[in-house]
Chains A and B, each alone.
Chain A
Amino acid sequence: MTATLRNLEGNEACALGAIRAGCRFFAGYPITPSSEVAEVMARELPRVGGTFIQMEDEIASMGAVIGASMGGVKAMTATSGPGFSLKQENLGYACGAEIPCVIVNVMRGGPSTGMPTRPAQGDIMQARWGTHGDHAIIVLAPASVAEAYSETIRAVELSETLRVPVVVLLDEVIGHLTETVDLAAVPEAPEVWRSFATGPREGFQPYAVTDDLIPPMPRPGDGYRAHCTGLTHAPGGFPTQVPEVATAAVTRTTDKLVHHRERIESWQVQDAEDSDLLIVAIGISARAARQAVRDLRAEGLKIGLFRPVTLWPFPEEALRETVARSGAKAVLVPEMNQGQLVLEVERVLAGRAPALRLNRIDGQPITPDDIADRAREALK
């Protein structure tokens, strides 16, 4: 009955999920509270014929991951806090050049070195906008160890099929939490790969505009001539500053995510039918909210939860529909920062319901009681 149940830590689950999805290259630089991802990768990757490299720093790690992916291997890195800041420039290159890769970021207190061993959710905006310029990026926010596993698999698959960097955004609590999971609950599925270029070598355009807006990647050794650059590039791959070509080049990469939005978006709803107050939260704050909703429902209060699993692009239509369907008079956004997720919620709801805040930046997780107290006060 229980043969497949095992205890696993969140960071370990990220590593195992990535390997299951076919990741065979990891370059990283250890940093608390993400180091266990690298530790498990160092142990497990050689067993499946993969490569683990500890680089000299986070900048080089991100560069190595991009190079490995361009070489035709699924690649991942993991980091925290200052390390995620250091990766931003090369992450921007991966966004611009549309190189599939996965970055696990386990959030700790900040800014700067902050509180290395303490949890925070202060990178919500950085994960979306940390690198400069208009760019496409996907951010997934697991709230359990089981989800750290399944969402890292999804991260590899989305990055491959959409040619886009995907950030798996954990907070320290989820990263270091051990839970009993059933890895067999994630059904076996064929391995997902990027679409590789086929057809004539002559006249090959590495950034051709296709119907699905995802240009097939040339596989090294297949004989396609390809130029890859962080400079704004035309479909042929070479730099351009022709206004309409530059506009089209950047717009295609951002339109790509809009076009495939249904595949990307994921969210969960708890008790949202008939709610006076709807909580919106991610990560450990969402787990606290899950308990708070149960406690408050038991008191007869009408509370629900909307949890974005895909954080960016934010599942905005789903939130608007959930608020409308529930009849919520307000939303409450508990988060371990001074107010980041709430800004997106306010933008999405555009005044349909006021967004109330609950914030902690003291290195301690938000508790179910914190949320219940704030909710009772709001419903008075």
Chain B
Amino acid sequence: MAHMEIRFSGSGGQGLLLSARILAAALARQGRHVAQSNAYEPVSRGGLSRSDLVISDGEAAFPLARRVDYLLILDAAAATVSTHLLHQGAVVLADAERVPDPPRGDFRTIALPFTETARGLGNPRVTNIVALGALCTLAAPCPAEALLDALLAMTPARFERLNRDAFAAGLAMAVQEPA
């Protein structure tokens, strides 16, 4: 894996930056180099929010996203804003409930029940962690155990059970397919 770009997008307050930060930490512990950039609006909740990871073997020449390989969309607010960064072979993971009309084109679009699954676990706030699990299976940026370690290290201990369950549900939700 020489170079991979992942965008977490949705609405402010969905934990997108946290998910990206958890994955970035796991990757750094695996010896990969990550550049993470964020964009959000000057509001405390809501508004378009995104976090990009550019993963490379050394310091990225250009640290911002140019051609996104995996695009996660958790809210309709972010449904169309990143389409220009998608290329043939890119994968879009959209929340089946909150993104009724995800981008479709010369790339793969998968709608998955992130929100519904989180609600079933008792707390819709772990939607981001369910999605992180699914992303881990599909993009395989690092071993799932490494990502789980980072997740538990960077979230409050009282939510450990919930986060473990959410992550496991996400991992099981998606099936990795040969390219």
- Per-residue interface assignment for chain B, residues 56 to 70, with 1 indicating a CB less than 8 Å from any chain A CB and 0 otherwise: 000111111010000
Query: How far does the Cβ of A352 sit from chain B's closest Cβ, in whole Å?
Result: 28
Cα-based distance from A294 to B66 in the complex (angstroms): 14
Q: Which of B24, B61, B62, B63 contacts A7 (CB 8 A)?
A: B24
Query: How far does the Cβ of A98 sit from chain B's closest Cβ, in whole Å?
Result: 36
Which of under 10, 10 to 19, 20 to 34, or 35 or more describes the interface residues of B? 20 to 34
Query: How far does the Cβ of B101 sit from chain A's closest Cβ, in whole Å?
Result: 26
Listed stretches B26-34, B106-114, B116-124, B166-174; interface member: B26-34
**Residues A179 and B29 in contact, CB atoms below 8 Å apart:** no
Q: Is the interface of A mostly helix, strand, loop or mixed?
A: mixed
Q: Which of B28, B37, B59, B62 contacts A146 (CB 8 A)?
A: B59
Please give, as numbers and ranges, the residues of chain B lying within 8 Å of A178 by CB-CB distance: 21, 24, 34-37
Cα-based distance from A23 to B60 in the complex (angstroms): 30
**Residues B28 and A6 in contact, CB atoms below 8 Å apart:** yes
Query: How far does the Cβ of B112 sit from chain A's closest Cβ, in whole Å?
Result: 27
Q: Which of A2, A146, A179 contacts B34 (CB 8 A)?
A: A179
Listed stretches A60-68, A86-94, A161-169, A285-293; interface member: A285-293
Considering only CB atoms, which chain A residue lies closest to B36 in the complex?
A178
Please give, as numbers and ranges, the residues of chain A lying within 8 Å of B73 by CB-CB distance: none
**Residues A179 and B61 in contact, CB atoms below 8 Å apart:** no
Please give, as numbers and ranges, the residues of chain B lying within 8 Å of A368 by CB-CB distance: 61-62, 66
B25 part of interface (Cβ distance < 8 Å): yes
Query: How far does the Cβ of B51 sit from chain A's closest Cβ, in whole Å?
Result: 9
**Residues A367 and B42 in contact, CB atoms below 8 Å apart:** no
**Residues B59 and A144 in contact, CB atoms below 8 Å apart:** yes
Instruction: Enumerate chain B interface residues (CB-CB to A < 8 A).
Output: 21, 24-25, 27-38, 42, 59-64, 66
Please give, as numbers and ranges, the residues of chain A lying within 8 Å of B42 by CB-CB distance: 116-117
Considering only CB atoms, which chain A residue lies closest to B32 in the complex?
A180
A108 part of interface (Cβ distance < 8 Å): no
Given A117-B42, A368-B66, verify A2-B30 contact (CB < 8 Å). Answer: yes
Cα-based distance from A287 to B27 in the complex (angstroms): 22
- Most chain B CB inside 10 Å of its own CB: which residue of A116, A146, A365: A365
A1 part of interface (Cβ distance < 8 Å): yes
Please give, as numbers and ranges, the residues of chain A lying within 8 Å of B35 by CB-CB distance: 177-180
- Most chain B CB inside 10 Å of its own CB: which residue of A144, A146, A178, A367: A178
Cα-based distance from A173 to B38 in the complex (angstroms): 9
**Residues A291 and B31 in contact, CB atoms below 8 Å apart:** no
Query: How far does the Cβ of A4 sit from chain B's closest Cβ, in whole Å?
Result: 10
